[in-house]
Each structure stands twice: as C-alpha cells, then as structure tokens.
Amino acid sequence: MNTYSLKSVREGRASIFVVDIKSLGLHHPCRSPVFYNPNMELSRNIDVAVLRAILDNLNFNLRNLVDLTAGTGIRGIRYALESIPHELKDYLKLFFVDKNKLACSILRRNIERNGLSKISMVLNEDSRLAILKIRYELNIHPCIIDIDPFGTPVPFMDCAFLALRNEGILMITATDMAPLQGIHPKACIRKYFSKPLKVRFSREIAVRILLGYIAREGAKYGISIEPLYAYSQKHFIRIIVRVKHGIKLCNNLLDKSIGYLYYCSKCGNKFMDNALYPNVERICNVCGSKLKVAGPLWTDLLWNVQLAKNVPKSYRELKHFFTKFVKEGENIVATIADEALINSPFHATDELASIHKVREFSPKKAVEMLRDSGFQASLTHFSPKGFRTNAGINNIIRIIRSL
C-alpha cells in the first residue's frame, strides 16, 4: 500500500487524520486517495443536529448505525460524539464501510483516536456487499444507514432497503446535481426515471425527484417512506427518511405522494398533481399557455413539520462544538422550520420580476405582504431570492405589483 502524508483535522468534537492533499500537489479534495471534503462540514453540522432532534423527539430506538462509503469516518464519528446521548453508547454498534484499503487504515486510526474502538467495526469491502453481510451474516438489522457517495446514491438503494429495519432511517446524499437540475436531462431520466426541468426553482425539483425515486424503490419491496428532513445547498442534496413496512402504506403513498409538477414560464404559475401519468397537453388555467412538466416526483411535504421545528433547538445546543459554517447552518435550519408546513413550489423574485416586467423586489417584503393578506408564506433555504406561499399566482402578481 502506498504511504501518504497525513494531517490532523478538527471538526466538531472529532479529531481525525486526513490525507494532506497539498503534499501531493493536489488542490481539490475529490482527487484525494481518501476522500474528505472540508466544505461538507456544513452538511455534517446540520445532520448532527437533525439526528439529535430525531433521538430527542421521535422516540427512535437506536441500536446501531452504518456509515457507508465512510472515507475518513467523519460522519459516523461525529454522530457518535455529538448526536448520540452518552447513555445510549453502552448499547450502540457503529459500522464503517469502505472498499478502499487506505481509507480503512485511516478509519481505524480515527476511530481509536476518538475513543470509539469498543463499539466500532470496519468493513473493507464493497458497500452493497457489506450492507447485506451486516444483515444476513451478522444477523443485524441496521437502524440507520448513512449513504454519502460521490455522485448518485442509486447503486446503494436496493441493498439499503433490503437490510434496514422497519421504522429505520436512511440518510442520503446526492451530488449529481447536473442531471437532477435538468442540465443533463437524459442522465436524470436514465438514473431516476424522472424528467427534470432547468428552471429557476430546479433545486427543489431535484429534491422532489430524488425523494420520488427513493419512494418508488422502496415500494418495490413493500416499504414506504416518510421524509423527515431535506435540504440542498451548493453541489449537494441531503435527504433523511424513515421507512415503514406495509403494502397498504405503499399503495397509499403512491396514490397521494407521487405525481408531477407543472410550470408555466409565461406567467409563473406552478403546481403539483398526484397522478400515475402526466398530462403533457395540460394548459395553464391562468394564462392559457402550455405547461412544462417534471416528474414523476414527490408531491407531498418535504419535512416532518414537528421535527423541522425542533432542529434549530438541537443546533443551538450543539453549535459550540462546530468549527466552521456555524451561522450559515443556523440560518438554514431556522428557515426550514418556517417553510416546512407550506407544500407549494417556491417562487424566485427575479423570475417573477422578469416575467411580469416589474422591478425586482425583496422576498422578505413579499412574505410580509402575503401574510398580511391572509396567506401562508415564508422564505426558503433553497434560494436567497426565493419565497414559498400557498397563494395562487394571481394573488402573488397582485401583491408584487403593489410593492
């Protein structure tokens, strides 16, 4: 095995070794022989708080956690040190999986360095084989499986659903934003069997496409999903779902939570509709133009509302451990707590200003005016220029023209 220069990194309560990419003449973490992305500390801060909120508020019985494609092990280590109460650690088992031998060597050092050796197991093999080994050879039903690959999570979903216990939790990352946001639509159709749209609110469409895909994959095995938390920033999507076994639950989910999103680029009208097939000839009921369509995708709420409201509290309790992106993460979880109850695709101020030939306006002012008019409204974490409301486009247009 090649030897590489390592350096020590502090993140949250964890202290880990990572490959010093500068010693190799590299500048981007994706080139590292063992992947560690310091910019994803934002996501890890949020996830640490979300898991703490799940354990505090959802009566979740945590016995084990699987960190797939673990790399340095930073996610699993931080969950153990920051999210999980001390009294649970006597019963906890952590599994760290990576097929990279060098990664597993560094993983073992990091686990020992953070005092987790007694409760941890490292599996140096393909992640899909490892999940099935944990389930069928070790006879352990994983409670939580964290899937954080480079690119798409698609290759791991079947094995994850086969292994995860009833009422278990999947924590999933996708970084293939170009397909999901409609830049490479054929790649999205190929991977997720869903048509994306390259529009101003494509980040939310991407999240709904990924959730819809996860829901359909689970349904093949008689497993339904409940989204607990979702967010998207920069180059990634992060989704956390709870699974529930049962054919009736799956049938109900497919009837009520899977469908299509329609968008009118002429007036800004957008809405979702639950259906097995899209109406490709559908006409906008506001201006009469032909609608663009995306899907199939998730049409229901993106968040467990009660959990979303509790995450900011967990974040505040833990943020003294965080070393970077502290305020950014705090703003994201606070905004999600506000927008979680509104299940309408967000609007962007520059999008509406361009369509309706008005001066671009403040999203905060739009939210204020919509609330004063009796509508639900909030900002959205998906875009600094975005706002979410249950008002129809005619009422939105009336209000923005008065700003």
End-to-end CA distance of the chain: 65
**Residue reference for tokens 């008019």:** 373
In which element (H, E) is residue 228 found?
A: strand 223-233
Angle formed at CA 31 by CA 28 and CA 37, multiple of 5 degrees: 55
| Cα dist from 326 to 48, 320, 338, 401, whole Å | 12, 9, 19, 37
Write down the pTM of the prediction: 0.96
Helices 393-401 and 349-356 cross at an angle (nearest 10°) of 80
Closest CA to 244 of 268, 221, 271: 221
The CATH class of the 347-403 domain is alpha beta
List the structure tokens of 38: 């310091």
**What are the domain boundaries of the chain?**
6-257, 347-403
* Amino acid occupying residue 18: V
List the structure tokens of 26: 């590299």
List the structure tokens of 263: 């968008």
Separation between Cα atoms, residue 78 and residue 246, nearest integer Å: 33
Can you give the pLDDT of all 403 residues of the chain as single tens digits? Answer: 567 889 999 999 999 999 886 776 666 666 776 878 999 999 999 999 999 999 999 989 999 999 999 999 999 999 999 999 988 888 899 999 999 999 999 999 999 999 999 999 999 999 999 999 999 999 999 999 999 998 999 999 999 999 999 999 999 999 999 999 999 999 999 999 999 999 999 999 999 999 999 999 999 999 999 999 999 999 999 999 999 999 999 999 999 999 999 999 999 999 999 998 998 889 999 999 999 999 999 999 999 999 999 999 999 999 999 999 999 999 999 999 999 999 999 999 999 999 999 999 999 999 999 999 999 999 999 999 999 999 999 999 999 998 7
List the structure tokens of 85: 């109460």
Collapsing DSSP to helix, strand or coil, 378 comes out as strand
Strand partners, 16: 9
Strand partners, 272: 261
Return the pLDDT at 34: 81
Answer for the pair 159, 71: CB distance below 8 angstroms, yes or no. no
Using only C-alpha atoms, the chain has a radius of gyration, in whole angstroms, of 22
The hierarchical CATH code for the domain 6-257 is: 3.40.50.150
Return the pLDDT at 26: 66
**Residue reference for tokens 């359909």:** 216
Q: Read off φ and ψ for residue 231, nearest 5 degrees.
A: -160, 160
Return the pLDDT at 35: 78
Angle formed at CA 264 by CA 261 and CA 265, multiple of 5 degrees: 125
Return the pLDDT at 280: 81
Return the pLDDT at 216: 98
Answer for the pair 18, 7: CB distance below 8 angstroms, yes or no. yes
Return the pLDDT at 2: 60
